[in-house]
Structure 1
Amino acid sequence: MKSIGQHLFLSCVFLCCLVNPSYAQQGQTDPLNSPMWEDMRRSLLGGAAVVFDDRVQVLAPVDAEDSMNVPVLVDASALGEVSKIVVFAELNPIHKVLELEPLQAKPIIGFRIKVQQATPVRAAALAGDGRWYVGGRIVDAAGGGCTLPSIGSENSDWASRMGEVAGRLWSNQDSTRLRMRVMHPMDTGLVPGIPAFYIDHLEFHDANGEILSRLSLHEPVSENPVLTLDLPRRDSVTVVGADNNGNPVNARFLPGKHEVEK
């Protein structure tokens, strides 16, 4: 009887894990103790079970001096194979910041974000074993970064430079680092009279047209986005993308210099 009871108990536990994935992570508590975590897990990760793991590094200032430009670096390379990284700021009015498909690149991305108030900033990395691994930290800020107008939207000549790209490549033995800036207001749509207007996708190609990495951006990314990626070693990199109004973003980079196409 005892063995039958144990068998039934284990069967119930197994079924609970299948029906409710969060049951599988009950042994882990949210290290940031955020009231929004379960909502984020359901809405952005499909309710999947996750592993909180320090190998997913989120580097950002503890105290943000400028709530409209908070530098963030996400590095999930310690996990090995990673197919997707989702970055989100839980207490922002718009949570999702960006989504990176590394493809041939390293699962590393540098960028800047707007924050509305003190918030957990997290990165969830989908690893080769099919599980989500999550890292993050709390960023303190004076607030208001998402509901202030962009500097560009108040400048009469900003349209003449919109979509302008600047940047550079640095290569070592096995990779090429790209650091680039795109002139764009990245309006959140939360300022009265100013609709959402932001770059929403970028692809990174080599000289043969092969896709090296793919990036989706969202409204919380800072004005004039500055992005850093570690791509496979190539002699040139072409960036192709557009904003949510269909305005193109095109540029071709060579080591040590850049050539811009609009």
Structure 2
Amino acid sequence: MLRIRLGKTGWRNGLLGMACLVAMAANAAPPDDPYRSPMWRYNLDRYLGEGAVVRHSDQVVLKVPHFAEDATQVPLTVDLSGFEPAIEEIVTWVDLNPVPHLFSVRPEAAEVRVIALNFRIQQASTLRAAVRDDEGNWHIGSAHVEAAGGGCTAPSAAASNPDWSASIGQIRGALFSPLGEQAGTRVKLQIMHPMDSGMVGNIPRFNIENLELRNAASQVRLASMTLSESASENPLFVFDLEHEGKEDGITLWMRDNGGNVFESRLGG
């Protein structure tokens, strides 16, 4: 019979190793969801990756109405003005939508402090905004919206307008100073686009997928966004940015899944 005898040092090292393993397992497990959504852990793995370090944060603020009066146009504001770490990526989703992902944003030559966008909601659901810091940790803010539902499967107004193609791609926008004492630029714009979700009979998916904000003089990317089918028709965007070269103006660039490219210069 083989017996292994460990001295005091061996036992101590073994206990320390076990403690480290327990701590690592505790850190890897995501926190409980205060809203008890059935899609909580599934969407964390889907959009942030399995084993992502996740924590709830009151520095990621979601502003939404308590009840969605119009399920096809629900206003959402993600306010990161109080978020202290450097922001590497922002991912948002609507837990119970047929396509949960709403948008992802990567700040590049600018700091992004506020993002606002209208979205569709299919039923009462919890929304998430996950922010990845420069150490790879994810900070999540959540909010719940009550809704009668049906926003994702409702046809767009463009479907009933035979002349919709004459206005597609028209952009209205301007640059402003952010509210309060915050320095930087507020970009506010709207583009005419049906943003068809593909969930209405005989109407294929047709939506803007990529958006970039660039310095109008150098064309350096300030921030980039990817959009999914949950975004509303004729989407209205707001971005609060902190960046160099504010006097140069901003070029807005968009592309939809049909290969159409839309571009406009704001300010400068």
SS at match of 1:28: coil
Residue 131 of structure 2 contacts residue 138 of structure 2 at CA under 8 Å; is this kept in 1?
yes
Is the aligned partner of 1:215 residue 2:225? yes
Aligned to 1:105: 111
Question: Which position in structure 1 is the counterpart of 2:87?
Answer: 82
Partner of 1:179: 188
Asked if the contact 1:125–1:132 (Cα under 8 Å) also holds between the matched residues in 2, the reply is yes
Structure 2 counterparts to residues 186-225 of structure 1, below 5 A: 186-206=195-215, 207-225=217-235
SS of the residue aligned with 1:106? strand
2:236 corresponds to which residue?
226
Distance of aligned partners of 1:64 and 1:6 in 2 relative to their CA distance in 1, 3 Å threshold: farther
- Among 249, 256, 268, the alignment partner of 1:243 is 256
Matched, 1:39 2:49: no
Aligned residues of 2:124 and 2:149 also touching (Cα < 8 A): yes
What value does the CA root-mean-square deviation take over the aligned residues?
Answer: 2.1
Indicate the residue corresponding to 2:72 in structure 1: 68
- Supply the AA of the counterpart residue of 1:87: T
User: Which AA in structure 2 matches 1:42?
Assistant: D
Structure 2: gaps of 5 or more residues: 1-6
Q: Whole-Å Cα distance in 2 between the matches of residues 72 and 85 of structure 1?
A: 14
Contact 2:30/2:53 (CA < 8 Å) preserved in 1? Answer: no
CA positional deviation for 1:4: 5.8
Mapped to 2, the partners of 1:193 and 1:13 lie a distance apart of 58
- Give the secondary structure class of the aligned counterpart of 2:17: helix
Unpaired segments ≥5 residues, structure 1: 256-262
Please report how far the alpha carbon of residue 7 of structure 1 lies from its aligned counterpart in structure 2 after TM superposition.
4.8
The equivalent position to 1:163 in structure 2, one of 165, 169, 180, is 169
Give the Å deviation of 1:241.
Answer: 1.8
Cα distance in 1 for partners of 2:35, 2:93 equals 14
Query: Within 5 A, what are the aligned runs for 1:96-135?
Result: 96-103=101-108, 104-135=110-141
Post-superposition offset of 1:9? 4.8
- 1:260 match: none
Percent same amino acid at aligned positions?
Answer: 36
| Normalised TM-score (structure 2) | 0.87
Number of positions where the alignment pairs a residue of Structure 1 with one of Structure 2: 252
Return the index of the structure with the highest Cα Rg: 2
After TM superposition, give the deviation of residue 234 of structure 1 in Å: 3.5
Please state whether the residue corresponding to 1:163 is helix, strand or coil.
coil
**2:262 match: secondary structure:** strand
Which segment drifts farther, 26-35 or 127-136? Answer: 26-35
Contact 2:89–2:105 (8 Å) recurs in 1: yes
Amino acid at match of 1:24: N
Query: In 2, Cα distance between the equivalents of 1:73 and 1:179?
Result: 13
SS at match of 1:222: coil
Q: Which residue of 2 aligns with 1:254?
A: 267
> Hey, what's the Cα distance between the residues in 2 that align with 1:99 and 1:34?
21
Give the counterpart letter for 2:166 in structure 1. S
Conservation of the 8 A alpha-carbon contact between 2:174 and 2:267: yes
Aligned residue identity for 2:37: S
Q: Is the 8 A contact 1:175 1:234 kept in 2?
A: no
Q: Partners of 2:230 and 2:30 in 1: how far apart?
A: 32
